[in-house]
Amino acid sequence: MLKPAVNRETVSGEALFILRNLRENGRLGRSNKLADVKAALEPSVSLEFDSYFFFLRKFHYIAMDREAQLKLTDQGERVVDGDYLDKFTLEVGEFFADQILGEDEATQAGSLEDLGMVPPPPPELTLEESDVARIVAPPPIPLPPARASRTALPTVDPVIPPMPAVAPMSAPPVAAPPPVAAPPVAAPAPASASFPSITSPLTTPSSMPPPAASSAATAAAPKGTELDLRYQKFDPIGSGPLGTVFKGRFNALGLDISIKELKDIFGYFSFLQRGEVLKRLKKELCAQAQVRHPAIAQIVDQNVDSPRPYFVVELLRGSLKEKLEAGGGKGVPVPLALRCFLQLAYGLRAAHAAGLTHHNLKPENILFDSYGNAKLADFGLGRVVEVDATKGMPQVFMGTGGMAYMAPELIHRAKDAGPAADVYGLGILLYEMLTGQIPGRRSPLPSEVNTDAPGGLDAIFDKMTQDKKEHRYPDIDAMLEDVYKAFPEKEYMEKGDLVLSSEPSQG
């Protein structure tokens, strides 16, 4: 069913409705985490909730901390109090221009409705338990009429073969055998909010139940024991929305490595979708493994056929997120920020030349080797769990840490998002490294926040983070051209250089 078209006033009212809810939640001490707010309010707005979030953040009506808690800015408070509403509505019209009706179209639509030429709305759909779980909390103010969920999955009934009929027995009567129960059908595991610590070897424990109910299916399942014996797995060193990273060792070489288990990914999907997820996962891992560059984390191995799918990566020492947190909200030292920026730019340039885009840039995915060199990790994992209606895949909201770094075309799930989307994410990272803050639409330029930041980067940052793709640098090469033009004295290297640190990192 097609969504009804909406006009500017409707979208303005719904954006204001979100602001009012955020303020009321804060007043009452309720959670304002992005995931919770999205789950509670998305059924009540006409467009994708992500679009409203991106608008409110870009125009500095809301702010988000590193724990993904939302709060109103002073400007957001004034809009809720009734100030600046005309300006607010104009900005809505500008931002949502390609998603809402113009005034003439809205008038025409209203006329058709008056004439009875618009068919009546369909009956409300009933949300099933198989829908993506939403946090149930009474809203602080009356909600607009709810829409049917966009994320509902078709119900798939398990196919259980019928039991063969038992022919009637002649006298003397013989007691019929007890009925044979059909094998139980396992329900999909719910998404886990925390990841248990697992320190056993990668081999499947003997106590683990077989993945299939029948002995024939068990015999056909890949064992993978010989492959798994190549590695040892030790204590966890990190976790994310899809899995856990462990320190490990490649036994044949005595080499320290990291092992990323992605078992938690399947909490978002049914058993029937597991094959599609594994297919995508293997494709993305193999693509990243083909790109060899000092600024890209090296994929060593993968085993998606294991009961707990995993892949093996070179062992790295901490992330940009940890360095930003250690900076206490002031960013990282300018020389480190500039070196990381250029290293990441050249890493992305190499990946783009090989046809690989990242599209999931965020501080958690920027890792460092023992010499303090930045490396890009987790290319394309967002594509592993993205929506695909043709394959019955649900919408998966993969945490909230990466939303602020996503280009508008990624949030709107445009099919033509390419290198320019990574240019945008890198621009946001540059600003955060220099200032310790994530920029909004009206944020000051980097050198205005940090006087040590080179003023020549201000215009480059601004062009990297334009909302409209056609106003942004189309690729990394075009951006680097301007970087080196901005520094004719070659203070920060020459074009084509990639300076790697050779001093052991202090942390």
Q: What is the CATH number of the domain that holds 37?
A: 1.10.10
**Domain end point (choices 114, 131, 146):** 114
pLDDT per residue as tens digits for the range 324-359? 999 999 999 999 999 999 999 999 999 999 988 988
The mean pLDDT of 254-268, rounded to a whole number, is 76
pLDDT band at 493 (very low <50, low <70, confident <90, very high): low
Half-sphere exposure of 457 (CA within 13 A, CB side): 27
For residues 140 and 15, what is the distance between their CA atoms, to the nearest angstrom?
A: 15
What total number of domains does the chain contain?
A: 3
Shared-domain flag, residues 372 and 284: no
Is the confidence at residue 221, as pLDDT, over 50? no
Residue tagged 């980097």 (tokens): 446
Q: For residue 137, tell me if it sits in a domain.
A: no
Confidence of residue 362 (pLDDT cuts 50, 70, 90): very high
Contact between 465 and 440 under an 8 Å Cβ cutoff? The reply is no
472 and 330 belong to one structural domain: yes
Residues 2-12 have a mean pLDDT of 72
Using alpha carbons, list the distances in angstroms from residue 168 to 161, 163, 176, 181: 21, 15, 10, 21
Which of 86-100, 214-228, 353-367 has maximum average pLDDT? Answer: 353-367
**CA distance linking residue 270 with residue 154, whole number of Å:** 11
Residues 340 and 448 in one domain: yes
Contact 429, 321 (CB under 8 A): no
Q: Is residue 205 scored above 50 in pLDDT?
A: no
pTM of the model: 0.56
* CATH code of residue 248: 3.30.200.20
Question: Do 224 and 102 have their domain in common?
Answer: no
- Residue at a domain's end among 280, 298, 314: 314
Q: What pLDDT, in 10s, does the model give residues 423-456?
A: 999 999 999 999 999 998 789 999 999 999 999 9
> In this structure, are 456 and 363 located in the same domain?
yes
> What is the helix (H) or strand (E) element at residue 384, kind and residue range?
helix 381-384
Q: What is the pLDDT of residues 370-393, one digit of tens each?
A: 889 999 988 866 665 555 545 454
Q: Which of 114, 130, 162 is the last residue of a domain?
A: 114
Q: Which of 251, 206, 209, 208 is nearest to 233 (CA)?
A: 251
In 3-state terms, what secondary structure has residue 208?
coil
Examine the pLDDT at 127 and tell me if it is beyond 50: no
Distance in angstroms (rounded) separating the CA atoms of residues 116 and 121: 12
Same domain membership, residue 428 and residue 283: no
Same domain for 367 and 292?
A: no
Same domain assignment for residues 302 and 348? no
What mean pLDDT is predicted for residues 264-276? 59
Beta bridge partners of 311: 260, 302
CATH value at residue 459 = 1.10.510.10
Of all residues in the chain, the percent with pLDDT exceeding 70 is: 63
On the CB side of 374, CA atoms within 13 Å amount to 31
Q: Are residues 283 and 365 in the same domain?
A: no
Identify which has the larger pLDDT, 269 or 7. 7
C-alpha dihedral sign at 305, 246, 257, 227: negative
Range of the domain at 293: 220-314
